[in-house]
Chains A and B, each alone.
Chain A
Amino acid sequence: MLDFILGHYAYWFTFALLVIGLYAMMMKKNLVKKLIGMTIFQVSIIIFYISSSVKWGGTVPIIEPGDMEKVHHGMAGAVEAAKYINPLPHTLMLTAIVVGVATTGVAFALVISIYKRYKTLNETELLKRMKKEDDNDSD
């Protein structure tokens, strides 16, 4: 039972962060607070992937200066793989971080455009003003 909890507690913390981000996106009425919730959501996914790629007893995925000589001199290659942590999720998450920055930039540009046009950042007030403009236009 203790082994089960020690092996899985990181996943539970990450999913708690995900649900906090989802709560901010669903329940808050201010547009900027919804954007903050979206950023928390993205960061929780990045932390989940990176925390699941470790190996007990492993080190940073950069080859130590003495290892390649051992492989060239004919010893078994399997001694290399258990010493380094998995490099593939780190690579994928580099891409994900930069895509998150780009998405946040575009979202803030849209919020600025909305504020210039409708002069409010509250969701219910914004919907009321958009409906009023639609009624005025169709008259």
Chain B
Amino acid sequence: MTKKDNNPIVSLVSRAVSPFIMLYALYVIFHGHYSPGGGFQGGTMLAAAVLLVRLAAGGELGQLQFKTSWGMPLGSMGVLIYFGTGFTALLLGGNFLNYHTLPLGSDPAAVRGWGILLVEIGVGLAVMGILVAIYDHLLEGDPL
């Protein structure tokens, strides 16, 4: 099994299935309030959807969906969203990471619910970006 002949069936099926895995991962992130799930689990599934295409199709086709240079900036953006939520709560009068001072409604308990959702989105993006970046840099010199 040389590295140059990729099986066309495996390549096609993995490219067709990958968007559905991403959709299910988004469902897991957003339903972290009502069922098991949350930021870390959904972020790992998003990274798995990208890595499936890179492993099965490889080379040029693997770069079309998610370029290698997008990995680390996406991770940095996720950490900034988390830190920004906490810092906004500090600037508007409360303590750091105390969500009831955010301007998202009037009932403090409901505002805490929305703050948890924002923070989970930040965590999911960060985990996805960093896992794809680690895979890409571990595989740098290998011709595929």
Contact = CB atoms under 8 A, between A and B. Distances in A.
Nearest to A104: B134
Interface of A: 60, 62, 94, 97-98, 101-102, 105, 108-109, 112
A60 B131 CA distance: 29
Contacts of A101: 131
A108 B127 CA distance: 18
Interface string B116-144: 00000000000100110010011000000
Given A62-B35, A98-B127, A105 B138 contact: yes
B23 to A, nearest CB: 23
Nearest to A106: B134
A105 B134 contact: yes
Contacts of B131: 101
Nearest to A111: B138
Contact of A109 (B35, B130, B137): B137
A116 to B, nearest CB: 9
Given A60-B36, A62-B35, A94-B40, A112 B138 contact: yes
9 contacts: A60-B36, A62-B35, A62-B36, A101-B131, A102-B130, A105-B138, A108-B138, A109-B137, A109-B138
A108 B34 CA distance: 37
Nearest to A116: B141
A27 to B, nearest CB: 27
Contacts of B34: 62
A39 B53 CA distance: 26
Given A98-B127, A105-B138, A109-B137, 7 more contacts: A62-B35, A62-B36, A98-B40, A101-B131, A102-B130, A105-B134, A112-B138
B140 to A, nearest CB: 9
B100 to A, nearest CB: 20
Contacts of A98: 40, 127
